[in-house]
Structure 1
Amino acid sequence: MPTSKSAGNGNTRKSTSDKMEHSKFHELFLEELEDIYWAEKNLVKALPKMQNAASSDDLRNCIADHLEQTKGHVTRLEQVFELLGKKARAKKCEAMEGLIAEAQELLGDTEEDTAVRDAGIIISSQKVEHYEIAAYGSLCTLANTMGHTDVAKILEQTLQEEKNADSLLTEIAESTVNEAALAE
C-alpha cells in the first residue's frame, strides 16, 4: 500500500533532504564554507604580524583577543562541516588573500611605532571584518533557508563576534588612534 506524503513517514523527508544536499544551492553553501574556512585559517597566520606591528596597547590587545576568537572560528567551522557530514576542506579565498596582502603592504609602507601605522592597521582589519561579516551573514541565511538551524546558530555566534570586533576597532580608532595619527 503506497504511503502518502501527508502520512508523515520519514521517507519523504529524507528524500527531500537528500535532494537538497545534492542541489546547486547546497553546493554553493559548501563552497562558501570552504572559502571562509581558508580565510579564517590564514588569518590565524596573519593576525600575529598585525599585532606585533601595532604600537597602541589597545590595538595590540584587540588583535590578540581576535586572534583567539579566530582560532575558535576555525574550530566552529570544523563543527559545521561535521554536522553536515562533510570533511572540513579549505578552498583558497582570493578576497582574503588580497586583503591580507594589502595589510602586509601597508606595514611595509608605514613607519614603525606610529599612530599612522596603527590607523592603517585598523583600516586593514576592518576591511577583513567587513568581508567576514558579509560572508557569515550570507552563510547564516543560506543555512536557515535549507533548515540547518543548528549550523545557523554556530555561524551566527561567529557573525556576532565579527561585528563586535569591528565595533571595537572603530572605538579604538575614534577614541585615540585617529587623533594621534592626525597629530603626527
Structure 2
Amino acid sequence: MKSTDTSIDKKGKVQEVKGNSDKATTEIKQGCRNIFVDELKEIYFAEKALMISIPIMIKKAATKELVTALTIHYNFTKDHIKRLEDIFTSIGESDIVTKYEAMYGTSKSLK
C-alpha cells in the first residue's frame, strides 16, 4: 500500500512524498543529515577563520589581560576544530577537512 509522507529537500523545505513510507523516511533522514553536515561545515569554517584572526588580535591587543583572554580563546578554538574533525571522520565526511585545506592552502603539518 502506498502512502503520502513528507520529506525535506536540499533547501530544507518540507515536501510531500508519494509512495512507500520507508522511502520517505529514508529521504527525511538524508535531508536531516545534509542539514546537520552543512551546519557543521559552517561552524568548522568559522573556527578555522578564528585560527587566523585571533593571532592578529593578540598582536594588536592593548593589555596583558586581553592577550591572556585571546590566548585562552585560541586554545579553545583549536580544541573545537579537533572535535569537529573527529565528528566529520566519525560520520564519513572527512573529505570536508581535505577540501578546506586544499581551498585555503592550510596543512596539518604546519600546525
Residue 32 of structure 1 aligns with an amino acid whose one-letter code is: E
Q: How many residues are treated as equivalent by the alignment?
A: 77
- Residue equivalent to 1:85: 92
- Residue equivalent to 2:70: 63
TM-score (norm 1): 0.37
Runs (4 or more) in structure 1 with deviation over 6 Å come to none
- Residue equivalent to 2:30: 23
Q: CA RMSD in A?
A: 2.8
Structure 1 unaligned regions, length at least 5: 1-14, 93-184
Structure with a larger share of its residues in helix: 1
1:38 and 2:48 matched = no
Percent identity between the two aligned chains? 30
Distance 2:27 2:85 in 1: 21
Structure 2 unaligned regions, length at least 5: 1-21, 101-111
Residue 49 of structure 2 aligns with an amino acid whose one-letter code is: N
Indicate the SS of the match to 1:23.
Answer: helix
Structure with a larger share of its residues in strand: 2
Q: Higher relative CO (CA 8 A, sep ≥ 6), structure 1 or 2?
A: 1
Give the conservation status (yes or no) of the 8 Å contact 1:81–1:87.
yes
